[in-house]
Structure 1
Amino acid sequence: MSSPRSNISYTVPGMSIEDSMKIISLLQMRLHALNDLHLTLKHIHWNVVGPHFIAVHEMLDPQVEQVRSMTDDLAERISTLGGEPSGTPGALVDARTWSDYSIRRADAIEHLGALDLVYTSVIMDHREAMQATETSDPVTQDMLIDQLRGLELFQWFVRAHLESKSGTLSTRGATTESGAAAQAADQARSLPSRLQ
């Protein structure tokens, strides 16, 4: 995990340097996660194929743009707290605790199955950061809450493609991107036979 500079000389009024450094560290990891997410979304946008190509291709670009905007908000908050945001690819790769997105060219439903797991991980970590800032920095918490609203909405868009009419997700129980992709594809293949 990347750590903030230990020599920040100022922060926002009413906050200790120590609290600011903790929040900067949390926000830096959220910045890495969202930089990774917007690149992953663009990767899927370029590599999605199949009968639902255009729907998924066009659904992802607004998500990319909003996630990029979220990264800007995170970086600016880090700077406001006296920190130095790091947005280089090398820093992201060095600091991340997750693996690179594993699905390459694939059917839309496979990418959406894998993307559901990506969103779950990002949202869970964002929620932890939101809870960690509740007392020490409600301004940062408010920003994270607003970002969660968008991230959760995007995951709902993805899950709408993966949900059966009974409300069951095809990715339920999957623990890997490839497993989620395979489960989503299996459910999609079985739909026509169930309708006949």
Structure 2
Amino acid sequence: MSNSNNAKKAAEFTAPGVDNKSAQDTVALLDDRLVALLDLQLTLKHIHWNVVGPNFIGVHEMLDPQVDAVREMTDTIAERIATMGGVPLGTPKSIVDRRRWDEYSIGKGLVTEHLVALDKVYNGVNADHRKAIDKLSELDPVSEDMLTGQLGELEQFQWFVRAHIESSSGELKN
């Protein structure tokens, strides 16, 4: 068997008490979340390296803990995919091939420019996490609970970002 076939070969088992169809549907949802969080992790680090201007250091230092937390989330999701009998794929090409959104387009940029764009990234990641949680409620309560915990952290990270781009009247820069 070729190496590429081995990379896609799923196990012939899943978690006890979960039927194969539910496991396959769960793995598909978790795979989408894995891709999103791997992409987010890289985007956060990219911003960390390329943010400039007033408040640079505060944003620079705010992002590394987010990178670390998102990295842990990806590991948790990948391990759940394997538990469910799936194959977690995290190679660069596989991430790009499965990504459903546009590439982050800002290189070196001002704090506000990056944080407005990052807020939009979090909008997508968090909304899609919420949709996956809704679907997982019927498929796999363990995966649902896992994503729910992650969403709480992701929403807090978005709040941190928004605190930098919010006016005193509560409006966000866009």
TM-score exceeds 0.5: yes
Residue 94 (structure 2) pairs with residue 91 (structure 1): yes
The yes-or-no answer on 1:138 pairing with 2:141 is yes
Look up the match of 2:110.
107
Return structure 1 stretches of 4+ with deviation > 6 angstroms. Answer: none
Give CA-to-partner distance per residue, 1:45-74, whole Å, 9 cap, x none.
000000111000000000000000000000
By how many angstroms is 1:85 displaced? 0.4
Q: Quote how far apart the aligned CAs of 1:136 are.
A: 1.7
**Which has more helix, going by share of residues?**
2
SS of alignment partner, residue 104 of structure 1: coil
Q: Which residue of 2 aligns with 1:159?
A: 162
Q: Contact 1:48–1:106 at 8 Å: present in 2 too?
A: yes
Check the 8 A contact 1:8/1:17 in 2, yes or no.
Answer: no
CA distance, structure 2, for counterparts of residue 128 and residue 154 of structure 1: 19
- Partners of 1:34 and 1:70 within 8 A in 2: yes
> Per the alignment, do residues 13 and 157 of structure 1 end up closer, same or farther by CA in structure 2, a change over 3 Å counting?
same
Deviations 1:82-128 (A, max 9, x none): 11100011001111111110011011111000000000000011111
Distance 2:147 2:47 in 1: 25
Mapped pair 1:74 → 2:77? yes
Q: Quote the offset at 1:9 in angstroms.
A: 0.9
Query: CA separation in 1, counterparts of 2:145 and 2:64?
Result: 25
Whole-Å separation in 1 of the counterparts to 2:33 and 2:103: 16
CA distance in 2, matches of 1:109, 1:63: 18
How far 1:6 moved relative to its partner?
7.6
How many residues align structurally? 168
Q: Is the 8 A contact 2:33 2:129 kept in 1?
A: yes
Residue 55 (structure 1) aligned to one of 31, 39, 58: 58
- C-alpha root-mean-square deviation of aligned residues, in Å? 1.3
Instruction: For residue 131 of structure 1, give the secondary structure of its aligned residue in structure 2.
Output: helix
What TM-score results when the alignment is normalised by the length of structure 2?
A: 0.94
Helix, strand or coil: the match of 2:60?
A: helix
Larger relative contact order, structure 1 or 2 (CA cutoff 8 Å, min sep 6): 2
Q: Based on CA coordinates, which of the two structures has the bigger radius of gyration?
A: 1
Task: Tell me if structure 1 keeps the 8 A contact 2:10–2:85.
Answer: no
Q: For the Cα contact (< 8 Å) 1:27–1:74, is it kept in 2? A: yes
Q: CA deviation at 1:135?
A: 1.7
TM-score by length of 1: 0.83
> Structure 2 stretches of 5 or more lacking a match?
1-6
